[in-house]
Amino acid sequence: MRSPLLGDVTPMANKAPRLRNIPIIALALAWLVPGAGHVYIGRVGRGVIIFLTISALFWAGMAMGGAMTVDCDRERWWCVSQMLTGVHGLVGWQVQRAALRSVGVSPVTALRDPSRADKQLAEEGLALVAPTGTVARAYAGVAGLLNLMCIFDALVLSLMGVFGETAPEPMTEPAKG
């Protein structure tokens, strides 16, 4: 089946139209907006489900932990995994920066004198302590790790030239005799 826009886009086909077969774009989109990589390679349904689920997990974490959930100064490994959610992680990071500025803590102070920054954050009710901190960072971090899996999936499918959903396995009748 030929589409005027995309060329040969036979439903359930594995042949990728030229514009839908650039792995670096699939990689970048999959990182920037969770699920966008799958939409790019023609798997719209999967992309929407991935976007909704990863967004819900990340923002559930942010709702529980508040502005300090994404804390790149003190929780670096959590921060790395949270940044894998792309735009969500970047927004969370900016929320943290804005919160630090609002309580008068510069990024340099937060890095060099964390105890002073902690004190000021606690006074403002922004400090993230256990168990809320653990749960909030786990939610946002797991969202990022799940997106890493989706990034790899979109990248590999793009490298393989897969476009759209693959054909379902044919129903085979058991051999007689």
Residues in the interface with another protein (CB under 8 A) total 42
CA distance 119 to 69: 17
Four-residue CA torsion sign, 94, 100, 103, 108: negative
| Residue 95 interacting with another protein (CB under 8 A) | yes
| Residue ranges in 60-89 that form contacts with another protein under rule CB under 8 A | 60, 62-68
CA distance 164 to 177: 38
Residues 6+ apart with CB under 8 A from 123: 103
Q: Which of 7, 45, 104, 161 binds another protein (CB under 8 A)?
A: 45
Q: Which of 30, 36, 39, 57 binds another protein (CB under 8 A)?
A: 57
Q: How many Cβ atoms from other residues are within 10 Å of residue 99's Cβ?
A: 17
Q: List residues binding another protein (CB under 8 A).
A: 45-46, 49-50, 53-54, 56-57, 59-60, 62-68, 95, 99, 125-129, 131-136, 138-139, 142-143, 146, 149-150, 153, 165-166, 168-169
